[in-house]
Chains A and B, each alone.
Chain A
Amino acid sequence: MNTAIETARAIAAAHKNTPGGLLPALHGIQDALGHVPADAVPAIAGEFNLSRAEVHGVITYYHHFRATPAARHVIHICRAEACQAMGADVLVAHARQRLGCELHGHSKDGEFTLEPAYCLGLCASSPAMLLGDELHARVTPQTFDALVAQARSAA
């Protein structure tokens, strides 16, 4: 038995009677598994009495849901206007070069996933980024390097 699929099925079952419960279920699955595995889609669809296409459509519509696991650390760098005005483009270019990957990619050492964000709500303290669940304001290439080094050395 595939435990990931069973976990997904159990979470979906817990939400199937919630009005509009598919999104809360998908959040629950991603929180538990780190992603929403493609092979769990039939089980989720079964619980909600939806077609696989409908569930697949919802998962792929929203940027938040991932079909594949992320690395140990996920970095979100805000690319929106207020951050652009304070050097977000330079920061993103620096991050890509330092991590050796494109946006939505994994760093060469497999430790980091680099994602764009479109507003973290820190527009008066830009550029902003999220490392794991920790917010950082006024990020420079230097502070980026320090934060990455700190995360890398963390157990």
Chain B
Amino acid sequence: MIAAGTITVYVPRDSAALAAGADRVARNIAQEAAARGLAVTLVRNGSRGLFWLEPLVEVATAQGRVAYGPVAPGDVASLFEAGFLHGQAHPLHRGLTEEIAYLKDQERLTFVRMGITDPLSLADYQAHEGFAGLRRALALAPAAIVQEVLDAGLRGRGGAAFPAAVKWKTVQGTPAAQKYIVCNADEGDSGTYSDRMTMEGDPFMLIEGMTIAGIATGATQGYVYVRSEYPHAIATLNQAIARAEAAGFLGPDILGSGQRFSLEVRKAAGSYVCGEETALLESLQGKRGIVRAKPPVPAIEGLFGRPTVVNNVITLATVPLILARGADFYKDFGLGRSRGTLPFQLAGNILHGGLVEKAFGLTLRELLYDFGGGSASGRPIKAVQVGGPLGAYLPESQWDIPLDYEAYAAVGAVVGHGGIVVHDDTADLSKLARYAMEFCALESCGKCTPCRIGSTRGVEVIDRISANQNRPQQVTLLRDLCDTMLNGSLCAMGGMTPYPVLSALNHYPQDFGLTAPDREAA
């Protein structure tokens, strides 16, 4: 409860805000308020996802929350002088937060509470529709829960876009003494941070989603596998789990229903390939994160050989909303077979980098210019990598394709986890292609040859192309190698590394020392 007479000030606790000095800003606000004898209640909220404005400080006023940003620790005194506690003018004044176009033009469904609530306040969460989905799920038969998720058209948000409910249905229909829900929070893709934001900024939503998945499938134990590079996410999630347990939202008797579900956070150890679901399961079992051959699929033989749902953070975090509002509400967003929304993440060389949740179907150009405001450097944008390190580089000619799983697949690109990394015209795409191979060589689990050896050979071949040693032959060799990796790898690590490599070669031949006719011939 916030005491009467005090003014509420919000300073985000999101990693990106902390990296920009949010803790010092919060400290200075508390000190300055104390020195002036003003009653201020500080709330450490999640981030709104407008990262160029972080630390984004908000003040609750009668008109709504007023934003100031980016606030440096040294700006705090002048904010008090200007009367920011009453929403007064200041060079950093951004007006009512909800009216900022970047935010107002979004369709925030999964991220509806992001940056608004205190991530660890159960009261706050419930005041904003929290646990409405769980309460409804508890009143439904397990099959009806799965049907709801199926009807909503929810596909895996981790990148593979596999229908979530199909996994759930398989686990539900496979009898076993123990089943598991595993949340893949090994968000290793460069350019993505929506999982991190969810765990740091709205962790109860993930807990609720996993609990619903448990009730639907008969799984009583859940694990969240979080990358070691996310210490704040791990800490916040652990606190949230403890609070949810204490309040009866987790544990042996969820809300008095007799249903049981427990949750544990497991820290990963810096292996990119552990984001692949079978490697993740190996890692959870305490082994090297080596990819397993499928079948058997994890839904039948997963963690410790038991039926296991493995879903990404955003997939599971979207479930509470689907249950609370119904499948029809969710599937009304989007187009084709891409239903609902995706939290796109603008990153790299972009003026207004941040999280943009929109229904599928908008274009990259809209994201880059209407939201992103163009490059950060002010130079022309040359290439945009969509879908993480295993996603294709898109040239301007492809920026008007609707963001939709199928439309992207048709041009050899992927929407993936919605990460969008922008490069300006100083980028050398042969260097980025080489990096893709180098990264694959570094992170390959080593189980299959195309990935393990192909990536090392790929680096060498690209080096020879750059050094103009038998360039035309080496280009042919690179294409052959990519073909082998694409078709012969066990998982997406080796199987998709050719996406950035080939798209770079096809769309930016000049960066490889090739002229346009060479491109036709190659």
Contacts and interface: CB of A to CB of B under 8 A. Distances in A.
Given A58-B287, A58-B288, A121-B230, 19 more contacts: A22-B287, A23-B269, A23-B284, A58-B286, A81-B432, A82-B190, A83-B190, A85-B349, A85-B422, A85-B427, A117-B229, A118-B439, A118-B443, A119-B190, A121-B16, A123-B353, A124-B51, A124-B347, A125-B51
Contacts, number: 147
Interface string A12-44: 000000011111101100000000000000000
Contacts of A124: 16, 51-52, 193, 345-347, 350, 353-354
B289 A81 contact: no
Contact of B54 (A20, A24, A125, A126): A125
A123 B20 contact: no
Given A121-B15, A125-B20, A85 B421 contact: yes
A65 B439 CA distance: 19
A80 interface: yes
Interface of B: 15-16, 18-20, 51-52, 54, 187-193, 196, 228-231, 266-272, 283-289, 304, 345-350, 353-354, 376, 385, 389, 419, 421-424, 427, 432, 435, 439, 442-443
Contact of B266 (A20, A65, A128): A20
Contact of A81 (B18, B287, B348, B354): B348
Contact of A123 (B190, B228, B271, B439): B190
A20 B286 contact: yes
Contacts of A7: none
Nearest to B443: A118
Please indicate which of the listed interface residues A65, A120, A128, A130 has the most CB atoms of chain B within 10 Å of its own CB. Answer: A120
B19 A63 contact: no
Contacts of B443: 118
A45 interface: no
Contacts of B270: 62-64
Contacts of A63: 269-271
Contacts of A61: 271, 288-289
Per DSSP, are chain A's interface residues mostly helix, strand or loop, or mixed? Answer: loop
Contact of A126 (B269, B348, B427, B435): B348
A137 interface: yes
A84 interface: yes
Contacts of B419: 82, 123
Contacts of B19: 122, 125, 128, 135-137
A80 B349 contact: no
Please indicate which of the listed interface residues B266, B271, B421 has the most CB atoms of chain A within 10 Å of its own CB. Answer: B421
Nearest to A137: B19
Contact of A62 (B18, B271, B349): B271
A82 B269 contact: no
B269 A81 contact: no
B56 to A, nearest CB: 12
B194 to A, nearest CB: 10
B206 to A, nearest CB: 16
9 contacts: A61-B288, A64-B269, A81-B191, A84-B348, A119-B187, A119-B229, A121-B16, A123-B190, A124-B16
Interface of A: 19-24, 26-27, 48, 54, 57-58, 61-65, 78, 80-86, 117-126, 128, 130, 133, 135-138
B295 to A, nearest CB: 22
B288 A123 contact: no
A65 B190 contact: no
Contacts of A85: 347-349, 421-424, 427
Contacts of A86: 348-349, 376
A81 B16 contact: no
A82 B347 contact: yes
Given A20-B286, A124-B193, A62 B348 contact: no
B439 A21 contact: no
Contacts of B348: 81-86, 123, 126
Contacts of B376: 86
A122 B286 contact: no
Given A82-B421, A86-B349, A122 B269 contact: no
Contact of B421 (A81, A120, A128, A130): A81
B16 A118 contact: no
A23 B20 contact: no
Contacts of B389: 80-81
Contacts of B196: 121
Contacts of B266: 20, 23-24
A65 B385 CA distance: 30
Nearest to B348: A85
Contacts of B439: 80, 118
List 6 A-B pairs, minimum CB-CB distance, nearest first: A124-B353, A80-B190, A22-B286, A123-B347, A85-B348, A62-B269
A123 B269 contact: no
B229 A121 contact: yes
Please indicate which of the listed interface residues B269, B349, B350, B443 has the most CB atoms of chain A within 10 Å of its own CB. Answer: B269
B52 to A, nearest CB: 7
A75 to B, nearest CB: 14
B286 A23 contact: yes
Please indicate which of the listed interface residues A23, A27, A57 has the most CB atoms of chain B within 10 Å of its own CB. Answer: A23
